[in-house]
Structures are given as structure tokens and as C-alpha cells.
Structure 1
């Protein structure tokens, strides 16, 4: 229970008045629940589509709630990564830019593109009851794989904090259970998950080349990109 609560506190802005220690054990176990927190958020986000008949209006409300649920945490990571990676600087300068709280031109462009893409895809795609939960769960599982396998770029950042707990076995077990769930709920979501894993893998290899690892900003960007590409796959199939 502590691990699930920690995952909720880590990934969402839901009010949970329970204190959980950020110990290695709790962090390691919490990574098991990352996809399932995404699944929970996804089911909550399907509600507007059930009560609002006009899909474009529902899509706008869903997008606002989506940002509210996470506090824009992943969007912040995407904008920081865009500013750093498109600066064409050396590793140390890229890391400095990514750590800067100010948002540059590339960061603003990335935010506009990702939000516009999500809105268009939400307002046009034929979504089943399981589609959006599957997209959010898949994005967080794909990102968890990166957390468990790619080296952190900073000696004291979020990547180091999470990876030193050695969470990969818990991530893999969670992934197997997620595959079973998606298989029985909506098999199209297996293709979505495959694309999401490929997307975060590509962006993480680019990060490995540029800054010798991944950071918390990369994790946030991975989630945003995986969600957008997941919606794109649903729109295409």
C-alpha cells in the first residue's frame, strides 16, 4: 500500500494526506505501480467523453484535466529537454540549460506542438472505454523501462535516485501484467505499447549520445511523447 501511495504522490497531484518515506525500498516497489497509476488517471479522464456529447468540447476538458492531474510535471520535462537538446551545445551546457527554470523558444514550441497534437487526436480518434487508460499506462511503463535500464546523466539527479534502487525486476513483472491486461481489454493497445516503447527508446538513445545518460527531464519528455504517439496510433488504426 505504501508503494502505491508513493507512486500516486510521485506521479500525480492528487491529495493524499499520508506520509510515505522516500526510502530505496518504497521507491523500488513504487515503480511497479507507475503503469497502474496511469491506468487510474486514464479511466478518470474518460468521464468527460461519457457525459459530453460533443467530442471537441470533451477533448478540451480532458486535456485540461490531464494537465491538472500531473501538475504539468511531464510538460516541464519536455520543454527543458527541447531547450537543451536543440541548443547544439556540449554536454555540460545542455545539462545546465535543462536545469534552468526559464523556458526558451524551443521549449515553448515543444509545448505548443504536444498540446495541439493531443487535442487534435483526442477530438478526432475513435476511443473505446479502454483506449485512454491504455495509452497512459503504456507511456508510464515504457518510461519505467528507461528508468530501470539507462544510466543517469547526473550524479545526484532523479535518475540516480530511482535507478540506484534497482527496480528493473518490479518493472518487468508490472509490464507482464500490463500486457495480459491489454490483451484481454483491447488488443490494439498492444500495438500502441510497442510504439511507445520504441519512441522512448529512440529519445533515450539520443539522450545517451548527447549527455551520456538520462535525467528527470528526459523521463517527463518520454511520458509526453509516448502519450502523443499512443494517441496517434489509435487515430491511425
Structure 2
């Protein structure tokens, strides 16, 4: 049991980050699917790195707020390899193209970034930068921690609550093989991780789930399902929802 959980965690962690943990040469689709319930914990590790980095830069380097904001944005992209940003851009290119469903899916599969994707990414970075500047500096490390958990919790909601739009695809292994109770397990895990940081952190987690449902329903109405790219977009929007909660005075 513990061995399976560890394997599932490592599978998910090495897919969603660029942090080398162990040399894993064998992968199974089932392990990818089972890792869905571990996503809040994976987010917590990313959040610890970002929040810990923010605390150190604040208290030991005296970094100005704008430098800190840029550093956090760059650090997150480095840690995750920009995986979700890529999905966010591809989703924007497809969904806002105004084309039929089949053409939207083709556009999203194209490795090139179009005008909608570039504009959406610029707005994403600008919004995240603005939120970082507006959050109370004393709360920023906690906001980073909650943001990473909330983003991954939003991803769990997307995987478990909506159908998959393609007959095949990288994201389908998460949809097809996730545990029956993955959403419940992930929600409990996220709540346990966020609860020590108070009502604001828990509110951010709830806001992330609401944002995931809104984005999921919007895209599902146009594609009759979600894709791996949409999972990445949901993660990014859910993170913004958490940061917005921390911006409220």
C-alpha cells in the first residue's frame, strides 16, 4: 500500500515538476491516474519552495516588492517547466478562435503559439504580478503555499468532474485511470494542508475549486469535454483565484 502511494506520488511529482527525485525508468498509465489524488501534496511542496523563497528574500535579502514578484513568477515557471502555462496558451488559442469544436482541438494541439495565446499569457503574468504586489507582505509566503495547493486542487476538480474531449492524449491517462474517490481524498488532503494557515487559506482553496468548475463548464460547453491543455489552464486560473482571496483586505 505505502509502496504504491510512494510510486504514485513520485510519478505525479516528476510529471508536474522539473525537480529530479529518483531515477524512474518505468511508468504506468495507472500510476499517472492514481497520482491525481496526490496533487494537493505535490502542490504543497511547490508552495513550500515558493513561500520559503519569498520569506528568505523578504527577511534576509531585503528584496523590493517588484523584484520579489518577478522572482516568484520566474521560479514557479522553472520549478514546473512552464507546463501549465503552455496549456493555458494552447487553450486560449483554441477556445477563443471562434472555430468549430474539431478545429479548436486542432489549434490546441498545434505547438505554435497564436495571438490569443500570447495575449492571454501576457495578461496572466501581469495579473499574477499585480496580485503579488497587492498582497500584504506578511501574508505573501502563505499565499504562495495556498496558491500552489489551490492550483492542483483545481486540476483535480477538472480531471474528476468533466469528460475528456479527445479519444487519446497525454491528459487522458489522468482522466481514465484516476481513483474513484480521488476528488474526496484530494479535498480532504488539501483541507488538512491549508487549515493550519487559517480561514483565508481555506477560502482560497474553495475559490480555486469554484474557478475550476467555472472554467471547466465554459470549456466543456464548447468542446464536449476537457483536454490536458485545459487542465493546465484550470491550474493557472485556480491559482489566480487563491491570490485574489489573499488580496482582499
Q: Establish whether TM, by shorter chain, passes 0.5.
A: yes
Runs of 5+ consecutive residues of structure 1 not aligned to the other structure = none
Q: What is the rounded CA distance, in whole Å, between the counterparts of 2:55 and 2:202 in structure 1?
A: 24
CA-to-aligned-CA distance 1:29-73 (integer Å, 9 cap, x gap): 311211111111111112332233222211211111011011111
Distance 1:122 1:128 in 2: 7
SS in 1 for 2:24: coil
Partner of 1:76: 86
Q: Do the aligned residues in 2 keep the contact of 1:91 with 1:210 (CA within 8 Å)?
A: yes
Q: What is the alpha-carbon distance in structure 2 between the residues aligned to residue 180 and residue 45 of structure 1?
A: 19
Distance in 1 between residues matched to 2:45 and 2:31, nearest whole Å: 20
Task: State the TM-score, normalized to the length of structure 1.
Answer: 0.94
Are the counterparts in 2 of residues 146 and 200 from structure 1 also a CA contact under 8 Å?
A: yes
Query: Aligned residue for 1:89?
Result: 99
Match status 1:183 vs 2:195:
yes
2:15 is equivalent to residue 7 of structure 1:
no
CA distance in 2, matches of 1:212, 1:20: 35
Q: Distance in 1 between matches of 2:88 and 2:166?
A: 17
Partner of 1:99: 109
Shift of 1:167: 2.2
In structure 2, distance between residues paired with 1:28 and 1:106:
31
Q: Please say if residues 143 and 242 of structure 2, whose CA atoms lie closer than 8 Å, have aligned partners that are also in contact.
A: no
What corresponds to 1:138 in structure 2? 150
SS in 2 for 1:164: helix
Aligned match of 2:33 in 28, 33, 42? 28
Q: For the residues of structure 1 that align with 2:25 and 2:179, how far apart are their CA atoms?
A: 18
CA 1:142–1:168 in 2, change beyond 3 Å: closer, same or farther?
farther
**Contact 2:54/2:141 (<8 A) preserved:** no
Q: Is the 8 A contact 1:5 1:20 kept in 2?
A: no
Q: 2:66 — aligned with what?
A: 56
| Structure 1 residues 185-225: Cα deviation after superposition (integer angstroms, max 9, x where no partner) | 22211211121111111111111111110000100000111
Q: 1:168 to 1:110 in 2, by over 3 A?
A: farther
- Match in the other structure for 1:160: 172
Q: Determine whether 1:235 maps to 2:247.
A: yes
Q: 1:47 to 1:185 in 2, by over 3 A?
A: closer
TM-score by length of 2: 0.89
Which residue does the alignment assign to 1:210?
222
> Following TM superposition, by how much is the alpha carbon of 1:181 offset from its aligned partner in structure 2, in angstroms?
2.9
Gap change, CA 1:169 and 1:72, over 3 Å in 2: same
Relative to 1, partners in 2 of residues 1:105 and 1:21: Cα closer, same or farther, differing over 3 Å? same
Partner of 2:3: none
Contact 1:151 1:159 in 2 (8 A): no
> 2:86, 2:229 within 8 Å by CA — same for their partners in 1?
yes
